[in-house]
Amino acid sequence: MSDYRIQGQTGEWEVVIGLEVHAQITTHSKLFSGASTTFGAEPNSQVSLVDAAMPGMLPVPNGECIRQAVRTGMAIEAEINAWSRFDRKNYFYADLPQGYQISQLYHPLVGKGSLLIEADDKSGIPEDKIIGIERIHVEQDAGKLMHDQHPTMSYVDLNRSGVALMEIVSDPDMKSPAEAGAYVRKLRAILRYVGSCDGNMEEGSMRADVNVSVRKVGEELGTRTETKNVNSVRFVMQVIEYEANRQVDVLESGGSIDQETRLFDVATGTTRTMRSKEDAHDYRYFPDPDLLPLVLEDDFLAECRASLPELPDAKRRRYTDGLGLTPYNARELTAEVETFARFEALLSATASAIGKSETKVATQTANWALSVAPGVIKSAKENFGDEADPAHATAERQATILAMQDKGEISGSQAKEIFELVLRTGREPDEIADTEGLKQVSDTGAIEAVIGEILANNDDKVEQYKGGKDKLFGFFVGQTMKAMQGKANPAVVNQLLKDKLG
């Protein structure tokens, strides 16, 4: 249970949160027309006759949009409705050419599902929690009004008009800004794993309507407000924080909460009324008579399921239980598609470079990927700017470094030096190690010679060591390494010293 509470003058208040996330489906063309969906095109350059609602134009469902929504539903382990239907949501606005949005009210494509948010003490989530998802339905996006193009008129850009969205509606299961933030991050990760949405919140590919209410602990649900179109995880959390406190203030000063739609003001971090319940539209939903019910065949559903990749929870379990990584490393590595993709490529390359199983090299690879490599990249960027190019850091080159280190040919600090040179030059690590003298000496003869000299020059300490002063072993190691300018393989040095000192 979340212990997030608002401390009011009359006691503690609990916050109840539900999210409706709109996620743009990643397809080349729109939900009901062949027009392109590329972001950032010239206004009204991606508008078909259907999108502009010319007389007599008809919608035809884009099968790929349906497929992606079904795969998303499967990824949250939801019921997939083999029979669903599109409805019209009727209202007038200049960015809505048809005068209605084609959506799904009565029979959504995807029914009940759920998603797991993981315990994270640092963020205030004490334990794992399942968040219910009520439904996912598919609908059209609207166009965009531009108010800054003319002194007295507004312009309309219909590029977005008709773009496919999934509306993912959660149950009111979240009790803190942290839980809501974790939910959005997890949902985003799943969408990106599945490939159904690029999750790009800055470009509006993903945005949330945030429903917030407050109540005294254990009491009935309070009246909720809905804050529209919030487009970052941080803002979602800010909205909840602000709304919850505002509602407590209103209630404690004897007021009541209106069920209303609100807008978030990024500049001030506050919300304000957009329209009250009295102004709410009567959307006159009814089944779209231009479209037949959507009936999904078993073969189609089987293909959707078969095409699902390994999902975040399963991957995380495999990383801990199968690869033996720490829970922290597993979570970090599975959070983003790019991260695990890079890691898995590196892991595979490292295993084959070293000639061991992935499980055997997973921990050293994870440490490299999560702490060593990012540290080197960061400092190289600071010191050398654009000369340091992370594109040079291919999985094969990094694997070569890890393999050299594994074999004792190079030390940890040499590995970092070599990696920095890889970043700056794009040269091959083994070649760098050879030509730059960045190799450990494992040649027993050379090391033995040095050790012999050190022991001869320090026979007093040898006596003391033999007399039981074990700590002096470190002294002999240090002297040997120093004499070899740090290039001796520590394991070989240790072994030889043990042999000599008996």
Partner 1 sequence: MADFTSLGAKAIRDGVASGDFTAREVAESFNAAVAAAAELNAFIVTTPDHALAAADAADQARADGKELGAMGGVPIGMKDLFATHGVQTTAASHILEGFTPQYESTVSQNLWNAGAGMLGKLNLDQFAMGSSNETSYFGNVASPWQKAGTNAAMSPGGSSGGSASAVAARIAPAATGTDTGGSIRQPAAFTGICGVKPTYGRCSRWGVVAFASSLDQAGPMAHSVEDCAIMLGAMAGFDAKDATSLKMDVPNWEAALSSDLKGKKVGIPREYRMDGTDEAILDSWEQGKNWLKDAGAEIVDISLPHTKYALPAYYIIAPAEASSNLARYDGVRYGLRDLPDGAGLQDMYAETRAAGFGDEVKRRILIGTYVLSAGFYDAYYTQAQKVRALVSRDFDNAWSGCDLILAPTTPTASFPLGSLADDPLTMYLNDVFAVPASLAGLPAMSVPAGLNPDGLPLGLQLVGKAFDEQTVLNAGLAIQERAGFSALKPNGPEKWW
Contact residues toward partner 1 (CB under 8 A) are: 49, 52-61, 88, 90, 92-94, 97-100, 154, 156, 282, 284-286, 289-292
Closest CB 205 distance from partner 1, rounded Å:
26
Closest CB 296 distance from partner 1, rounded Å:
15
3-state SS class at 284: coil
Angle between helix axes 63-75 and 177-194 (nearest 10 degrees) is: 130
The DSSP symbol for 278 reads G
Instruction: Sort strands 261-265 and 225-230 into parallel, antiparallel or unpaired.
Output: parallel
Instruction: Sort strands 87-90 and 286-287 into parallel, antiparallel or unpaired.
Output: antiparallel
Which residue lies nearer to partner 1 by CB, 88 or 207? 88
Closest CB 292 distance from partner 1, rounded Å:
6
Closest CB 101 distance from partner 1, rounded Å:
11
Which residue lies nearer to partner 1 by CB, 32 or 319? 32
Which tokens belong to 420?
């920095």
Closest CB 28 distance from partner 1, rounded Å:
18
Which residue lies nearer to partner 1 by CB, 56 or 445? 56
Which residue lies nearer to partner 1 by CB, 49 or 341? 49
Which residue lies nearer to partner 1 by CB, 28 or 317? 28
Distance between CA 356 and CA 350 in Å, rounded? Answer: 8
Closest CB 20 distance from partner 1, rounded Å:
20
Q: Integer distance in angstroms from the first to the last C-alpha of the chain?
A: 60
Which residue lies nearer to partner 1 by CB, 46 or 365? 46
Closest CB 43 distance from partner 1, rounded Å:
14
Distance between CA 380 and CA 382 in Å, rounded? Answer: 5
Which residue lies nearer to partner 1 by CB, 30 or 192? 30
H or E element that contains 41: none
Closest CB 278 distance from partner 1, rounded Å:
14
List, as own/partner pairs, every contact residues 157-160 make where C-beta atoms lie below 8 angstroms and the sequence separation is at least 24, other chains included.
157/43, 157/44, 158/44, 158/47, 158/51, 158/52, 158/95, 158/97, 159/41, 159/43, 159/44, 159/45, 159/46, 159/47
Instruction: Sort strands 144-146 and 129-140 into parallel, antiparallel or unpaired.
Output: unpaired
Closest CB 90 distance from partner 1, rounded Å:
5
In 162-263, alpha helices (H): 177-194, 233-252
Which residue lies nearer to partner 1 by CB, 164 or 354? 164
The DSSP symbol for 78 reads P
201 neighbors 266 (Cβ within 8 angstroms) = no
Which residue lies nearer to partner 1 by CB, 33 or 365? 33
Distance between CA 379 and CA 395 in Å, rounded? Answer: 20
